[in-house]
């Protein structure tokens, strides 16, 4: 097992979480994972598993031990008849999509970023968009995890179902998830269309748009009153071998403008607001046919801090109108588009979509600009609407806040204490979420 040298410590992707772990292991086998878990437990230390560092919350922060599974990747086995695969936890979604395509398989839906590991996406309840589809954890049919005593448990709906429902979205608090069995479908293509519309038109047609299209996500520019509607439907057309010149030019322009607005926001909020309106006004209407593995991910080069909540789907239009009023009344300078997605409910105990179809609203903000008041006002609005924060976003919730939102939270906490009585997999943030004491 190879230690990972980090003379300057560890940081998440956005640079908002930093720490200096004493040790980081890089196991290459299940046996090495077990050995590292036992070593940390016997020495009375704590251990957090890191993925790609894409979460905005301090889920992986530790001054003790980290474990990276970046060398523990790939598809371990495939059941062709049932279209299921066992995947090693350190596999990034991008790599997994490529491996599935080679087998003429695909995930039924995907998030807008494919850089994170599959284990990290599942552990935090990450999702794509489309009311017919749940989050990535809802595609899980089996899990293998190493517990604090070094033992290996395998769970599914048929085998240890309660552990399965708890472990699918667990924030790494129950053990080290090493393998994930995923339900896939036959490979497919999507015709992806982007078009510009007004905020009012989009809200008026929101239910219609969700029903008309397989996938729908919205990027809302509040000060311009403009929404980019991005929707996708299955297609038999030949996929484009590469992005068109116009599409590449448009993506490059958008990234340049977003980076430029970050610089402008430091000097002149009015100039940054004007640039945002200019970007919104130039959103093109375009369509392209893409293979499933390329259809969902969007460029993510501008580093931000982000708050996201899952809210009741039936209240989506009303909540968005209230959000617009809050932004205008308090004169918040929202320079980055607000992202709106739609997710089907599921039954994982800690899923933000637990037994509730949801609209998920993500609010990015430049990390080097003041955003605390913006996030606080939005949090107050979403709390009144029974919103559940995305586990990987920059929320401030503790167990007392979360208990009314998650009917099985106390059951999860009891199971966590049973499986990890000495808090091996805790850190201060996880302890606050689950009302645990660090030892």
Q: What pTM did the predictor assign?
A: 0.91
Of 177-191, 245-259, 324-338, the least confident: 245-259
**Main-chain phi, psi angles of 261, to 5 degrees:** -65, -30
What are the residues whose beta carbons fall under 8 Å from the beta carbon of 189, sequence distance 6 or more? 234, 235, 236, 237, 239, 289, 290, 291, 292, 295
Burial 286-316 (b: 16+ CB within 10 A, else e): eebbbebbbbbbeeeebbbbbbbbbbbbeeb
- Structure token pair of residue 13: 């992707």
**pLDDT at residue 224 in the model:** 83
**Residue 382, burial from CB neighbour count under 10 angstroms (0-12, 13-18, 19+):** buried
Of 329-333, 389-393, 433-437, the least confident: 329-333
CB-side neighbour CA atoms (13 Å) of 203: 15
Output the CA torsion 371→110→73→307 (10° steps). Answer: 10
Note the pLDDT tens digit of each residue in 282-315: 677 789 999 999 999 987 767 889 999 999 999 9
**pLDDT at residue 251 in the model:** 54
Note the pLDDT tens digit of each residue in 3-13: 544 446 999 99
**Host H or E run for residue 360:** strand 358-366
Of 112-126, 231-245, 340-354, 402-416, the least confident: 231-245
Note the pLDDT tens digit of each residue in 154-172: 999 999 999 999 999 999 9
**pLDDT at residue 5 in the model:** 46
Q: Is the pLDDT assigned to residue 35 strictly greater than 70?
A: yes
Secondary structure letter of residue 176 according to DSSP: E
Mean pLDDT of 225-248: 80
Secondary structure letter of residue 354 according to DSSP: B
**pLDDT at residue 264 in the model:** 47
- Structure token pair of residue 125: 């309840």
Residue from 86, 162, 165, 168 nearest 124 by CA: 168
Q: Is the pLDDT assigned to residue 62 strictly greater than 90?
A: yes
Q: CA–CA distance from 289 to each of 227, 237, 283, 294, 421 (Å)?
A: 22, 7, 19, 10, 51
Mean pLDDT of 37-57: 95
pLDDT averaged over the chain?
Answer: 90
Alpha-carbon Rg for the chain in angstroms: 21
Q: Is the pLDDT assigned to residue 236 strictly greater than 70?
A: yes
Note the pLDDT tens digit of each residue in 102-147: 999 999 999 999 999 999 999 999 999 999 999 999 999 999 999 9
Mean pLDDT of 190-204: 95
Note the pLDDT tens digit of each residue in 401-439: 999 999 999 999 999 999 999 999 999 999 999 999 887
Cα separation of 281 and 283, whole Å? 6
Q: Is the pLDDT assigned to residue 377 strictly greater than 70?
A: yes
Q: Is the pLDDT assigned to residue 270 strictly greater than 50?
A: yes
Split at pLDDT 50, 70, 90, the class of 263 is: low
**pLDDT at residue 6 in the model:** 47
% of residues, the chain, pLDDT over 70: 88
Structural contact between residues 93 and 117, judged by C-beta atoms closer than 8 angstroms:
yes
Of 187-196, 267-276, 348-357, the least confident: 267-276
Residue from 295, 323, 297 nearest 309 by CA: 323
Domains in the chain, CATH or no CATH each: 2-68 (3.30.43.10), 75-186 (3.30.465.10)
Mean pLDDT of 321-340: 90
Note the pLDDT tens digit of each residue in 205-216: 999 999 999 999
């Amino acid at each position: 097992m190879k230690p990972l040298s980090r003379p300057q410590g560890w940081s998440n992707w956005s640079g908002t979480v930093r720490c200096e772990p004493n040790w980081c292991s890089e196991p290459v086998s299940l046996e090495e994972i077990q050995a590292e878990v036992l070593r940390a437990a016997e020495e009375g230390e704590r251990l957090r598993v890191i993925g790609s560092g894409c979460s905005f919350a301090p889920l992986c922060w530790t001054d003790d031990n980290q474990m990276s599974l970046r060398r523990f990747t790939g598809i371990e086995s495939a059941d062709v008849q049932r279209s299921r695969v066992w995947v090693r936890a350190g596999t990034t979604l991008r790599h997994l999509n490529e491996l599935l395509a080679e087998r003429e398989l695909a995930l039924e839906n995907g998030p807008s970023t494919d850089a994170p590991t599959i284990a990290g996406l599942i552990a935090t309840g990450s999702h794509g968009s489309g009311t017919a589809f749940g989050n990535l954890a809802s595609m899980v049919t089996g899990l293998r995890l190493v517990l604090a005593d070094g033992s290996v448990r395998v769970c599914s709906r048929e085998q240890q179902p309660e552990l399965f429902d708890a472990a699918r979205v667990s924030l790494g608090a129950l053990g080290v998830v090493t393998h994930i069995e995923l339900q896939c479908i036959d490979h497919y293509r999507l015709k992806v269309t982007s078009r510009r519309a007004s905020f009012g038109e989009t809200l008026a047609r929101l239910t219609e748009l969700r029903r008309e299209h397989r996938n729908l996500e919205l990027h809302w520019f509040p000060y311009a009153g403009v929404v980019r509607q991005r929707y996708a439907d299955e297609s038999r057309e030949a996929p484009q071998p590469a992005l068109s010149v116009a599409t590449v030019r448009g993506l490059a322009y958008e990234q340049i403008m977003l980076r430029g607005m970050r610089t402008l926001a430091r000097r002149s909020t009015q100039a940054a607001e004007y640039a945002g309106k200019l970007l919104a006004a130039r959103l093109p209407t375009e369509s392209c046919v893409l293979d499933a593995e390329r259809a969902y991910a969007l460029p993510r080069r501008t580093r931000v801090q982000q708050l996201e909540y899952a809210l009741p789907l039936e209240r989506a239009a009303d909540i968005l109108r209230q959000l617009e009023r809050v932004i205008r009344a308090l004169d918040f300078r929202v320079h980055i588009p607000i992202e709106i997605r739609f997710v089907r409910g599921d039954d994982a105990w800690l899923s933000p979509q637990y037994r509730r179809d949801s609209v998920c609203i993500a609010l990015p903000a430049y990390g080097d600009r003041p955003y605390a008041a913006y996030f606080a006002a939005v949090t107050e609005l979403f709390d009144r609407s029974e919103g559940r924060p995305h586990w990987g976003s920059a929320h401030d919730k503790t167990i007392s806040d979360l208990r009314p939102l998650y009917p099985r939270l106390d059951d999860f906490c009891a199971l966590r204490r049973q499986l990890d009585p000495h808090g091996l997999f805790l850190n201060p943030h996880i302890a606050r979420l689950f009302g645990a004491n660090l030892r």
